[in-house]
Structure 1
Amino acid sequence: MRNTLLTFFLCLMLSLSLGACTSVYTGKRVTSDAGAVVGATDNTVEIGDRTKFIIASEVLLGNVMLENPRFRRVGNFTQGAAVIQNISDERLSLEYMVTWQDEQGFPIDVPHVWHHITLMPHMSEQISSTGKANNAYHMTVAVRFPNESLEAPVRK
């Protein structure tokens, strides 16, 4: 009986100490040049002056972050890279698409190819894309659940 009681209290103390370390996301919109969290009311965020992040699934709002966008010239083309991070406590199976615009914001190529990505809780993965024209300047990254449309989430 004594060992059972001792085991119970040790498990209780362990669970309380682990629970105290849990981070809580408030759902507020946070933006900077380094990254963006799309909050409970926004599905599109500009990151710096060359990157836009769009979330097409209402459930993903506040659970996915795009950070550290960067660009480089590769021959005559521009290559962009960024990190997609799952900031939720759930495993996310997502699709993303990267499109490019010129400096004035006109689309250069509009591929309809969605790439699959699976992110475990708090995991991040780098994505990259190369603009298919020498005047590619702005990069737009759209994220959604598989088989959902790119339309903005419906708000009630």
Structure 2
Amino acid sequence: MKPHIRLGYAFAMLLVVAGMSACSHRTGGIMASTGGITRVDNSSVGSDVSISELKTRLIGGMMQGIATITSLDSTDLSLQYQFTWFDGSGFVIEGDSSSWTPLTLYGKQQVQVQAMAPANGAVSFEIYVREVFSQ
């Protein structure tokens, strides 16, 4: 292969890789569970947001989960959160039924969020919060 063709091929591959990385999303965030477990998958989100005061209650035989999400930053944050519900054996209840819910937190704001379990039998939940990045 001629050197100028190899150089052109290498440049084209570089553009493809750069284009693919521009489309990638950073989806890591933070998680808290009613079992007392907290996990930080993205240290930037972990330094900007906290999750606290996880509570449950029964309403008409269905479990409701409540959590407080707090901005630790003075700027506005575009976030999403998702509840995942577990039965008494630790299995996920209807894992695909919970969608991501958008949330904007203004500087140092705290918001209580809530969700209902998708079915009877829920005994605990996890809440996951991630930041939304515009492209």
| Fold match (TM-score > 0.5) | yes
1:67-86 map, 5 Å? 67-86=52-71
> Secondary structure at 2:44's aligned position in 1?
helix
* Larger displacement relative to structure 2 (114-123 or 61-70): 61-70
Give the structure 1 partner of residue 131 of structure 2.
145
Q: Percent identity?
A: 25
Q: Which amino acid aligns with 1:118?
A: T
Q: 1:80 to 1:66 in 2, by over 3 A?
A: same
- Higher relative contact order, chain-length normalized (CA < 8 Å, sep 6+): 2
Hey, what's the Cα distance between the residues in 2 that align with 1:55 and 1:114? 18
Q: Which amino acid aligns with 1:145?
A: E
Hey, what's the Cα distance between the residues in 2 that align with 1:45 and 1:69? 8
* Larger displacement relative to structure 2 (122-131 or 60-69): 60-69
1:101 and 2:86 are equivalent in the alignment: yes
Hey, what's the Cα distance between the residues in 2 that align with 1:117 and 1:61? 16
Q: TM-score, normalised by structure 2?
A: 0.66
Q: Give per-residue Cα distances to partners, 1:53-89, cap 9 Å, x unaligned.
A: 5555442022211111111111121011111000112
Higher helix fraction: Structure 1 or Structure 2? Answer: 2
What is the aligned-residue RMSD (CA, Å)? 2.5
